[in-house]
Amino acid sequence: MKRKLLSVLLAGAMVLSLAACGNSGTSDGGSDGGSSEGGGSEGGNKLTVWAWDQTFNIKAMNMAAEQYKKDHSDFDLEVIETSSDDCQTKLTTCANSGDYSTMPDIVLMQDNSYQKFLKSYPDAFTDLTDCGVNWDDFAALKQSYSMADDKHYGIPYDNGVCAAFYRTDVLDEAGYKIEDLTDITWSKFTEIAVDVHKKTGKYLLTSESTGGDVIMLMIQSCGANFVNENGEAYIVGNDVAEKCIDLYTEMIKQDAVKLVNNWDEYVATVTNGEAAGVINGNWMNATITGIEDQKGNWQITTLPKVDGVDTATNYANNGGSSWYITSNCKNPDLAKDFLVNTFGSSTDFYDAILPETSGIACYLPAGESEVYNEPVEFYGGQPIYSTLVEYSSHIPEFTKTPYHYEAREAVNTAIVNITNGTAKEDALKEAQETLEFKMSE
């Protein structure tokens, strides 16, 4: 794949980076003890890291350094606050110039963005396949985001596992329990959602009309995508895609889902009480638990699954990120040892960062710890953290594409057109042609 690919993709796709990672695309550049320009360390016992979000990713990385220092007293870590978009832009600039000298030792990358960088600039990253991580301790899907040709390039970190969050008090008012929405299909969900709305005025699902979270988690929960195994646009003739689109457009027509204009309005439907349900990445937990007067009235369960698809599951992923060692790292053995002994293998570490950052581990053994299995008062005593880790182990793999955001936008436009009266065949044909064009630029 030519280097031109990154320039084209980054021009538009990067601005669509998911809010899944703490609004990472809007973080200002800056530093946590160093220049925002940064660069790799000069070797020795110091490492530099690029990451965003002081309360989440950066805090977790600094806590990892504190733990590692207990057995490595001379270890030093400098975290340079760098937005997700800036991480990608700077990497592109370095790759196009053929000079990686300003790259840090370790960089955080969003999962949905990473594949286009790995495929275009494989020499920018360090192969971690034999670094000492037991890869079976991470779910297959999470591993696959940072893999190419059976080689591992990333240490899985931020878990994007999805769940269905519901207000049990509203369900009770409508005559339902959380069990009635567990392991169901999307058609059954639509039936219940319409009934709940009629009886209570609340929605069990809201969504951005310009976003694609719901349709993407629907198709990927089937182990499918809007591209085929050869990486080609695959919207027309894709039976799974068509089933997902049919189900979603039907939800819109029946008013089972409330569409809003943007992310802020989406969040507002939850915080103002209009939404009694949220189906999205687990990172919505931070928004939900911020509503103090709803404490004890929420619970989580599995997603609805797509009707009539043999590979359909009740599990999906949306968002997430992983840590990468760049080729500019002067001490890759130190960087590997540091990441392996913290993010890559330490239940104690994940127990420590959970209450401090609310970050859900991708490390499956963490889900068995006492900390992860503690009842959560806000969710009526549900041990939601161990449950979310368990859900992540069931998410099916699917074909990745450097054109994730382009596919998402094309399909979402088709859905809007269909609901506005365009014939489905014509809308899908236009989406196919749009995606093919984007992929040929």
Please give the helix or strand (H or E) that residue 340 lies within, else none: helix 332-340
Q: What is the pLDDT of residue 334?
A: 98
Whether residue 185 sits in one domain with residue 144: no
Q: Which strands, in side-by-side order, build the sheet including 298-301? A: 277-281, 162-167, 298-301
Q: Do 52 and 150 sit in the same domain of this protein?
A: yes
Q: How far is CA 363 from CA 58, 317, 329, in A?
A: 18, 15, 25
Alpha carbons 103 and 363: distance in angstroms, whole number? 27
Residue 225 lies in a domain: yes
Instruction: Name the token pair of 182.
Output: 């567990």
pLDDT score at 21: 38
> Identity (one letter) of the amino acid at 214?
V
Q: Which domain holds residue 290?
A: 162-316+399-440
In this structure, the answer to whether residues 310 and 419 fall within a common structural domain is: yes
- On whether both 149 and 103 belong to a single domain, the answer is yes
208: helix, coil or strand? strand
What are the beta bridge partners of residue 260?
A: 208
In a domain, 379, yes or no: no
Mean pLDDT per block of 10 residues along the chain (441 residues) reads 37 37 36 49 86 96 98 97 94 91 96 88 95 97 94 96 98 98 98 98 94 94 96 97 97 96 95 97 95 96 97 96 96 98 98 94 97 97 98 96 92 95 97 96 83
The answer on 137 and 63 residing in a single domain is yes
Task: Name the amino acid, one letter, at 318.
Answer: N
Last residue of a domain, one of 371, 387, 407: 371
Whether residue 393 lies inside any domain: the answer is: no
Confirm whether 62 is domain-assigned.
yes
Rounded CA-CA distance 357/271 in Å is 21
Q: Are 242 and 348 in the same domain?
A: no
44 and 173 fall within a common domain = no
Strands 206-208 and 258-260 turn out to be: parallel
Predicted TM-score (pTM) of this structure: 0.88
Q: How far, CA to CA in Å, does 352 sit from each of 51, 58, 62? A: 19, 14, 12
Are 276 and 130 within one domain?
no
**8 A C-beta contact, residue 267 and residue 274:** no
Nearest alpha carbon to residue 61 among 18, 23, 104, 91: 104
Residue 381 within a domain: no
Strands (E), 220-305: 258-260, 277-281, 298-301
Is 38 within a domain? yes
Whether residue 391 is contained in a domain is answered as no
On whether both 63 and 192 belong to a single domain, the answer is: no
What CA–CA distance (Å, rounded) separates 109 from 320? 9
Same domain? For 171 and 132 the reply is no
Same domain, 127 and 239: no
Q: Does residue 247 lie in a domain region?
A: yes
Q: What's the pLDDT score for residue 37?
A: 56
One-letter identity of residue 222 = C
The pLDDT of residue 22 is 36
Q: Are 190 and 254 in contact (CB under 8 A)?
A: yes
Total structural domains in the chain?
2
- Based on the domain organization, do 421 and 302 belong to the same domain? yes
Residue 227 belongs to a domain with what CATH number?
Answer: 3.40.190.10
